[in-house]
A and B are shown apart, each in its own frame.
Chain A
Amino acid sequence: MSVAVKYHTVIIGAGMSGLAAGIRLAYYEKPVCLLERHTTIGGLNSFYRLRGRNYDVGLHAVTNYAPPGTRTGPLAKLLKQLRLRWDDFDLAPQNGSSVVFPGHRIAFDNDFASFVDDVCRQFPQQADRFRRLVAHIGQFDETSLTQPQTSARNVLGEYLGDLTLIDMLLCPLMFYGSATPHDMDFSQFCIMFKSIFQQGFARPLKGVRQILKALTRHYKELGGQLKLRHGVRQIKTDGSRAIGVILDDGREIEAEHVLSSAGLVETYSLLPPHLREGEAPAERQPRPASNLCNGSAEASPSQVKISPGEVSFNEAIFVLDCQPHKLGHDETIVFYNDADRFHYEPPADPLDLRSGIICSPNNFRYADGAQLDEGFVRVTALANPDFWMSLPDEEYVDAKAAWGRRMAEAAVRHIPDFREHIIDTDIFTPRTIKRFTGHPNGAVYGAPHKVLDGTTAIDNLYLCGTDQGFLGIIGAMLSGITMANNHLLR
């Protein structure tokens, strides 16, 4: 017979946000237990071994880069809050990235002034307007938990008079964080603008492993419990209060608080049936951009139509027999779009090859000239979740491979042809994401509606992670920290 342990908090999901929240709680001596359904940590940002090679999934680059010794900004705040040292993440800055559209190329590295100058050179007519927009973004408090949702396209349209420039600014930010098709919330736009253009990209030599292992080691040293292969089937309630969880195998764990990184819809679906009034309908709800302004950030989820999100991707990871540099490719990330306008939405086709992301994890300035043993090119494109979910098993593998070849074909319009150098390929689809994260539709960035204050209709049940709404890897960790501070450590 097992002894009933009562935790201060159980956290659902051992991804970036759950681990960060866990560290805060464990540091302040709260009995805390992290429950992860899968055999490994990380959730959306994880790693695996396949045919003798290490792969990363999720993380292309850590955003919000700041050099060692920086005392301000999200990365410094995060390290302080977690009592980690800068070296624990071992971040190496990017070589440089670009946004490439027909007739225009905007380059950026981790020097914000040169990015602003490049935009002004590419769009001289828009230069003054763009600088005014930058000033507006600079003074905008995107960390406030009470910002109303506003359409980024509307705000950009007030400042800028060039649709191509608006699309080019949105392209990398949407690809790296927008749960909303066509548009994004302006507060989220500011988070992403600052984290990508202003602060920039970096990566640990060992990839996402480095970060996840630093977090896990620290969490365990502080006395936190981590239980893998412990899926949560239901959140236990007493009246309108969460009191613990029931595991997939029927065992129960008692806790004073439950913090869920499972997602908004996913968390509601874990409640006993009579408390699920906020649950999303079975079919996906199309959410036109105009809906962005309707739900206020503070509205409780039961008062708004919540949908699980539908923006998902395929990613092909190509392993090369040489470094990309040998082929003349030094750029870290290329965000490309070949169409007149940038279409950020689930495509009608299995994949939308008009736009995409080309990332090479080799192309960072690793300390002491260190380098990955093999070359990698990762190509990411918007995917149609229904197509990949409903494909019969016997066709799935072939479809992945065939579309993988088309992704490479699209990529080599923008970087040197690497196809003859491919020695192995692995591909994920929305189906893979659903399998490992539990997000319906394989929605990478979760629900279009974010709950910034992390509260739910249930007492002592809080959200953290993607659907709370701080974006990116650093954002995910800050989400866990902020929710732990605001709701669990007061």
Chain B
Amino acid sequence: MPLAAAVPAPPRRRFRIGPRLLPYLLSLPALLVCIGILIPFGTAIYYSLQRYRLSQPWARSMNWGENYINFLSDPSFWNTLQVSLTYTVLTVGLELVLGLGIALLLQKRTLLNNVISVTLLLPLMTAPALAALMWKLMTNPNFGVLSYLVGFVGFEDFRWASDPSTALLTVVLVDIWVYTPFIMILLLAGLRSLPTQPFEAAALDGVPRFVAFFRITLPMLMPYILTAALFRMLESIQQFDIIYAMTQGGPGDTLTVFQVEAYLNFFQSTNVGRSAALLLILWAITFFFSNLFIKNWLRLRERARGEH
């Protein structure tokens, strides 16, 4: 807990330390490092307006919006868009439901609950690429323990990520394993910070618990749910590590989400122009959501401050 927490926020007093330039000087190094990163961003825009294949450098030329216009009639682009959105909706939706459920289970501050919530941090701290490898070992058709276990429930010869019909479910499962704890932690903290009076009043009035949940808990928790969902959406639509480590986008084009498709375009078909255009479309989508997220998150942070 911050030291100043007990003190009501004093009116911000602005005082000048040293010359007017000081704040600029303090933040300048950080800015310079980041400006170096803005240059490639500009380059990417430039590439996206070109016909540019690494394998055919002689044919490089500006084609302006052609890469983008081509997408309209390009089934593999629509596939990318569809897979990315499906992946995002499935992962964020399932993780929200699971994360909220687990947070409700762990809501009481008992020793056991605290120990469990700490152990649930571990999947979140596992590198997603390595998590995918772990699941790959467990779902190996020859010796994987999960392949063996699903045999009991009637799924003989279940092929997990190597079968086009179950590949998406497999990577979604890994995503859920890694990121559900993130949502759980955020919602648990949110739940524990809710005031208790409304719940006591509802209990006194004999309101059934599930009614209280939908009428009191859920609305009060909504800002936290929204922040967690937006944050996860931002990450999920850009997912690369889990999918690439698990299947490299395969089998076929089953899992070619935006970043995987762009990576394969760049390094395998060396189509730099198309790759850059794909990434810019992804950037436009994430930019929209990141603005929503930042707004929400700042509001939540202000509130968390106000409570202390």
A is bound by B: no
